[in-house]
Amino acid sequence: MTDFDMHILGCGSALPTTRHLPSSQIVRLREKLFMIDCGEGTQLQMRRMHIRFNRLNHIFITHAHGDHCFGLPGLISTLGMLGRIGDLVVYGPRDVNDYLTPVLAQFCHHLPYKVVFREVDPFKHALIMEDRSIQVYTIPLKHRIPCCGYLFREKQKEAHIIREMTDFYQVPVRMMKDIKQGADFVTPDGTVVPNARLTRPAVRPKSFAYCSDTAYSEEIIPMIEGVDLLYHEATFGEEDLARSRETYHSTARQAAEIARQAQVKKLVIGHYSARYDDMSQLLSEAREIFPDTLAGNEGMVIPI
């Protein structure tokens, strides 16, 4: 198991089917869990996938359409019954809070913990959350109502000390932190030992972008350029291109075109329309443009 991965809980669209659940994902960075969207059935999928509820502290909602947030009140209630006491932070456009506040007032007014809502501007690409290991940014999307995706960027880790070299140059323990952060070492006789001789570079930081729901929009390309994993909605096939434009959604081919232009490492498609019984058509259309494409499915765990 890698220390940074994405778990698909649901990758269907608005109309319920027996094949797919509404949108929801978990991003795991070591012991931290971040949820993106929370459609109906999310907490049941967490049980099936053995995801620990108590490690979830941040939930990012893209927009106030039911297939992306109808599971949120139930999950919040369950966390209370499980004895949660720490704050739960929910991020999303203002419409999400307009939906959530009266529902929680009616059904969850005796929670043993606090739900903190942090409004995001869905029309701006901005840093909205940061801790010691990760940064989360909004990605403005093109949909029928205010909607944003989310970009997760792992922070650069400190370099690895080469113990044999620091012992050889007798580097004091008190200087190890500075050495890890890039400082050179000056010996007592004034000799400068380059940092590159004392350390090995850390593993390159990884990144994940989640873009659902959205019409085809090249404006997001600079924001997601070069990410290791892109999840982009592919609600329709090319035969339903006109319908995708009416509903402000994307086709599988359009999702692949975004991935190609952004030079991402891997693409995962999802948010499938209920009209498709077989996703192989959508996968084939995407792979014609971007070969390193996966068709998302419930239960998948994809390394980032």
Q: Are 68 and 143 in contact (CB under 8 A)?
A: no
CA distance linking residue 200 with residue 195, whole number of Å = 9
232: nearest Cα among 276, 155, 292: 292
Say how many residues make up the chain: 304
- For residues 129 and 136, the answer to whether their CB atoms sit within 8 Å is yes
Angle ∠(249,4,290) on CA atoms, nearest 5: 40
Q: How far apart are CA 116 and CA 258, in angstroms?
A: 34
Q: Which of 67, 95, 213, 228 is catalytic?
A: 67
Query: Which phi and psi (to 5°) does residue 151 adopt?
Result: -115, 125
The two tokens of residue 138 are 């909004």
Say which residue the tokens 């239960």 belong to. 299
Cβ of 282: how many Cβ atoms within 10 Å?
A: 26
Q: Is 240 a catalytic residue?
A: no
- Which residues have CB under 8 Å from 164's CB, separation 6+? none
Question: Among candidates 81, 84, 61, which has minimal Cα distance to 71?
Answer: 61
Say whether 76 sits in a helix, a strand or coil.
Answer: helix
Tell me the catalytic residues.
67
